């Protein structure tokens, strides 16, 4: 079995963050491990507070994993502070994991800053050059590329700019654009590859970014190439969104285990 590590924040409602990552890993048949960078107080209606884990404990969590267990892929999610980012980057340069998926989490759906504004430059400088693939949505890509994105052509220009900052592959997610079809664009430094999917009419999309990046990491760990890893992850997240469910009073989560539940015959119970 392949081993995949997530370095991210905890979501107390279970739909995003560490909890979504570990569910996604399990759904892909890989063994999930975690380094927690922050504890959030959140539910389907929003993020209400964040308490960052000390840099010392973050470093020790990373050391504890790499000193003992082989890491086949790693996903980075919420890293809110400058010191946290610098510590993670230092450890990754030391241990050199083969596959690093960077999900540059900046703002929650409810508008809460999950990456303090003054740390954005540090994330770009320290973590982008270490990443096998970075997976920003359009607002995040606008921050990283320092340009407005209002068209597919501008998505491609932004991907080129982000690639020049050091990422080996760039996947800009098009979910924030309007239209019946959602288009994500993958750039590998030479070619652009479009991934088209139907736009699903549901409000229950909590944790989609975390889930997609974790699915990509799972596929990379299982030795799929970048393009196939993204394609497989897109198929997974599409089913998870199609079968998402209402939980609480706000934005519900995706259905991480739908395919497994269906195969097990549990959906008819």
> For 231-267, how does the pLDDT look when each residue is reduced to its tens digit (9 = 90+)?
999 999 999 999 998 999 999 999 999 998 988 888 7
Q: Which of 209, 211, 234, 254 is catalytic?
A: 209
Q: Which of 6, 37, 205, 254 is catalytic?
A: 205
What's the DSSP call for residue 87?
Answer: H
> For 40-50, how does the pLDDT look when each residue is reduced to its tens digit (9 = 90+)?
999 999 999 99
Q: Is residue 60 annotated as part of the catalytic site, yes or no?
A: no
Q: What 3 state SS string does 94-114 have?
A: HHCCCCEEECCCCECCCCCEC
pLDDT computed for residue 179 by the predictor:
65
Q: So where are the chain's domains?
A: 3-263
pTM for this model (two decimals)? 0.96
Q: How far is CA 27 from the centre of its chain?
A: 16
Report which of 184, 126, 131 is spatially closest to residue 155, judged by C-alpha positions.
184
Q: How far is CA 186 from CA 31, 57, 94, 143, 193, in A?
A: 27, 35, 28, 18, 5
Q: Which of 208, 211, 243, 254 is catalytic?
A: 208
> In CATH, what number does 3-263 get?
3.40.1190.20
Provide the 3-class DSSP secondary structure of residue 245: coil
Q: Is residue 252 annotated as part of the catalytic site, yes or no?
A: no
Q: How far is CA 1 from the centre of its chain?
A: 22
């Amino acid at each position: 079995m392949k081993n995949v590590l997530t370095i991210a924040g905890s979501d107390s409602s279970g739909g995003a963050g560490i909890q979504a990552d570990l569910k996604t890993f399990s759904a892909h048949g890989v063994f999930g491990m975690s380094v927690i960078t922050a504890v959030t107080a959140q539910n389907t209606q929003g993020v209400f507070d964040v308490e960052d884990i000390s840099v010392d404990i973050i470093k020790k969590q990373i050391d504890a994993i790499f000193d003992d267990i082989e890491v086949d892929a790693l996903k980075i999610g919420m890293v809110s502070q400058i010191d946290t980012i610098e510590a993670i980057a230092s450890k990754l340069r030391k241990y050199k994991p083969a596959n690093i998926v960077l999900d540059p989490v900046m703002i929650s759906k409810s508008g809460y800053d999950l990456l303090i504004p003054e740390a954005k430059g540090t994330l770009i400088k320290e973590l982008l050059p270490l990443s096998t693939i970075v997976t920003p949505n359009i607002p995040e890509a606008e921050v990283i590329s320092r340009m407005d994105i209002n068209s597919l052509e501008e998505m491609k220009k932004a991907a080129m700019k982000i690639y020049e900052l050091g990422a080996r592959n760039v996947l800009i997610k098009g979910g924030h654009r309007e239209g019946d079809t959602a288009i994500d664009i993958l750039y590998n430094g030479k070619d652009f590859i479009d991934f088209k999917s139907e736009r699903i009419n549901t409000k229950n999309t909590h944790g989609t970014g975390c889930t997609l990046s974790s699915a990509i990491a799972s596929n990379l760990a299982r030795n799929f190439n970048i393009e196939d890893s993204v394609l497989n992850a897109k198929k997974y997240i599409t089913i998870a969104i199609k079968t998402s469910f209402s939980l609480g009073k706000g934005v519900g989560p995706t259905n991480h285990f739908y395919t497994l539940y269906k195969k097990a015959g549990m959906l008819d119970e």
